[in-house]
Chains A and B, each alone.
Chain A
Amino acid sequence: MIELVSRDRCVSCDICVKVCPTQVFDPGLDGVPVIARQEDCQTCFMCEAYCPADALYVAPDADHPVQVEESALIAAGKLGKYRASLGWGTGRVSTAQQDDSYRILALSERLAPKKAAAASHPSAPA
């Protein structure tokens, strides 16, 4: 769930308020969005992907709030990591072009004999 809006980093663009599919944030009167409905957070990480200032942290825990410490997250390089891994942000190139799914699929198709693929054995849902 969303746990942190860094007041130091936030540039008050309200992009997170806009993109969050479940309306977790409200615009803050001082410009820094507030986590107004944390229980509605679906842990989808989209706000992290879109925040231009790497100011948000969504903890991996989907069912319960957890305590986080901003300085510790920064020290561990955890703010903005998802955005970087997507290749989003100025000066970066989308990592979608490094998507190796086709190689993995080709490999698993080569391993699975054709007969087996056609038999009643379900291949793993993606």
Chain B
Amino acid sequence: MPPPSAFDASPAPRPGNEADALQLDADVLVLGGGPAGTWAAISAAAGGARVILADKGWCGASGATAPSGTGVWYVPPQPELREEARASRESLGGFLSERLWMDRVLDRTYANMAQIAEWGYPFPVDEEGKQARRSLQGPEYMRLMRRQVIAAGVRILDHSPALELLSDDHGVAGAAGIERRSGRRWRVKANAVVIATGGCAFLSKALGCDVLTGDGGLMAAEVGADFSGMEFSNAYGISPAFASVTKTAFYRYATFYHGDGRVLEGAGSAKGRSIIARTLLSEPVFAQLDQAHEGLRESLRKSQPNFFLPFDKAGIDPLTQRFPVTMRLEGTVRGTGGIRLANAECATGVPGLYAAGDAATRELICGGFTGGGSHNAAWAMSSGYWAGGGAAAHARSLGASAATRTPKGAGRAALRSAGGERTLDHHAVVKAVQDEVFPYDRNLFRSTAKLNDSLGRLDQVWQQVQDHPADTVRDLVRGREAAAMTATARWMYTTARERRETRGMHKHEDFHDQDPSQRRRLVTSGIDVISVRAESGSGPVQAPAQLAGAAP
């Protein structure tokens, strides 16, 4: 780090007055500018809406996809290929997914990838001269998406985290937040809002994930939205122990080792991830991609330049040298739980509120596990597309402009104190939450006793986030993030406690087997008091007949 310079001393900005807030109105407001948010904004604009997109970071560089990149669930519309694609996911996800949703996502993804090609994404060309559209490199994809959002006439507010939703008697009517550098508040009235703020990775430093603290979930819960699949929120990504790069695909070519060079039997990036985690509890684990044969090596490098980045910088050749590994929590980023969807347009059931991408539940297409096959990327672009269209249609149906509404802020925790004089210590809250959700022997290997024990402490932490926010912009945003992380952890573990079996990524030490009688999704509601119920009936999200009629 360079020596601190004389210019270093700029004072930390303070939040501006409500009266000086940037006041805007739109038909649709999109929160989050990753794949889901950018697709939502473009699709809403195509539906004739005036659209504003606010991102906590910089739309194009922020979120999980931008610095990493994704394989995409891209399957040509041949019946046998589609059948294979659907079937391969069902048992893995514990049979909680729905074929109609899989079909819709496969169709939509196929179409959206063609659109991306038309926009000029430089897909590789295969031996037959056809574009190979199975993967998107993050920096390139998201740079392109930013350009398309701007070309669609969408106004982007960068470095402008949303802090709370606005609502009135007719439902959600916009959101309010703050511009981080200036401290100026913003308030956008809109007839429909799309939450596309990504998942929650609990500030684990997994690649690109520190902006993903579950803010959208908390905002949605504050206006009464429900969650689904919150027990499936314990995804961990393998990375070099020192680095952030949790790109795990190439670990299929790895052998894992003990420190003394013995092979760690049974360890692997897929099924054997538990063995790696158990071993990491007591000793370091090493890996080497020694199963990648000579002919493959060049291909690996060309496919994922950023996988090799930390190794090149550290002077390690992962193909020929051993390096220590760790597993970083990616929570709901590569878990499947999120805001529950009420229909095919990704409405949440709260009037005017839509959700897409990692912020929304992905159980509909992959049940309780997002293994390989790149469902997350397909889901983000598909659900974003639908949510944007649905939001535009809803805004249109209200007729009058949102400018005439007089909504109020719905945010509570870490924004509006319940009283008391204490100032919120967000560092302490973050640490306390991480202590409950990071450990493999709590979150990956669960038991009723451990869940109860963690929930007891998390309930205490939830009291702490009722304290007054501190007085800089950074503390305000951090405090709200800490509250969202706490809420997410409580939804996760409260729901996990109700699933008394092992299914999908939810591994229960007291109940090792999948129990056929528990083959149903769990719906979670509430903030201060949390309740969990089983979703009833078949095809619970929307009757298949209705779904089949909806636009793919």
From A99, which residue of chain B is reached at the shortest CB distance?
A: B124
| A53 part of interface (Cβ distance < 8 Å) | no
Looking at chain B's contact residues, the main secondary structure is: loop
**Contact between B87 and A122, CB atoms less than 8 A apart:** no
**Contact between B5 and A28, CB atoms less than 8 A apart:** yes
**How distant is the Cα of A65 from the Cα of B373 in the complex, in angstroms?**
35
| B151 part of interface (Cβ distance < 8 Å) | no
Which residues of B lie under 8 Å from residue A119 when comparing CB positions?
91
- How many pairs, one residue from A and one from B, have CB atoms within 8 Å of each other in the complex? 208
**How distant is the Cα of A97 from the Cα of B305 in the complex, in angstroms?**
12
| B259 part of interface (Cβ distance < 8 Å) | no
Which residues of A lie under 8 Å from residue B305 when comparing CB positions?
82, 85-86, 95
**Contact between A21 and B63, CB atoms less than 8 A apart:** yes
- Over the window 306-323 of chain B, the binary record of Cβ atoms lying under 8 Å from chain A Cβ atoms (1 yes, 0 no) is 100111111000000000
| B115 part of interface (Cβ distance < 8 Å) | no
- Over the window 33-50 of chain A, the binary record of Cβ atoms lying under 8 Å from chain B Cβ atoms (1 yes, 0 no) is 011111010111110011
Kindly identify which residue among B8, B62, B309 contacts A34, using a CB–CB cutoff of 8 Å.
Answer: B8
Q: Nearest Cβ in chain B — how far from A54, in angstroms?
A: 14
Most A CB contacts (10 A, CB to CB) among B63, B126, B244, B298 go to B244
| B263 part of interface (Cβ distance < 8 Å) | no
**How distant is the Cα of A35 from the Cα of B310 in the complex, in angstroms?**
20
**How distant is the Cα of A121 from the Cα of B207 in the complex, in angstroms?**
26
Task: Please provide the chain A residues from 84 to 108 with a CB less than 8 Å away from any CB of chain B in the complex.
Answer: 85-86, 88, 93-105, 107-108
Kindly identify which residue among A5, A44, A49, A126 contacts B249, using a CB–CB cutoff of 8 Å.
Answer: A126
Q: Nearest Cβ in chain B — how far from A118, in angstroms?
A: 5
**Contact between A19 and B205, CB atoms less than 8 A apart:** no
Count of chain B residues near A, Cβ 8 A: 83
Which residues of B lie under 8 Å from residue A85 when comparing CB positions?
305, 309
Kindly identify which residue among B88, B247, B268, B302 contacts A118, using a CB–CB cutoff of 8 Å.
Answer: B88
Q: A102-B132, A114-B84 are in contact. Are A21 and B211 (CB under 8 A)?
A: yes
Which residues of A lie under 8 Å from residue B181 when comparing CB positions?
23
Which residues of A lie under 8 Å from residue B140 when comparing CB positions?
86, 94, 96
**Contact between A97 and B8, CB atoms less than 8 A apart:** no
Kindly identify which residue among B8, B57, B135 contacts A102, using a CB–CB cutoff of 8 Å.
Answer: B135
**Contact between A59 and B313, CB atoms less than 8 A apart:** yes
Residues of A participating in the B interface, judged by any CB pair closer than 8 Å? 3-5, 7, 18-23, 26, 28-30, 34-38, 40, 42-46, 49-50, 59-63, 65, 78, 81-82, 85-86, 88, 93-105, 107-108, 114, 117-126
Q: Which 6 A-B pairs have the closest CB atoms?
A: A21-B57, A102-B132, A60-B310, A101-B135, A123-B372, A21-B62
Q: A96-B123, A122-B371, A125-B248 are in contact. List 18 more A-B contacts (CB 8 A).
A: A4-B2, A19-B58, A21-B62, A21-B66, A23-B180, A42-B207, A42-B209, A42-B210, A43-B207, A49-B139, A60-B313, A60-B314, A61-B242, A62-B205, A100-B303, A102-B132, A117-B88, A123-B270
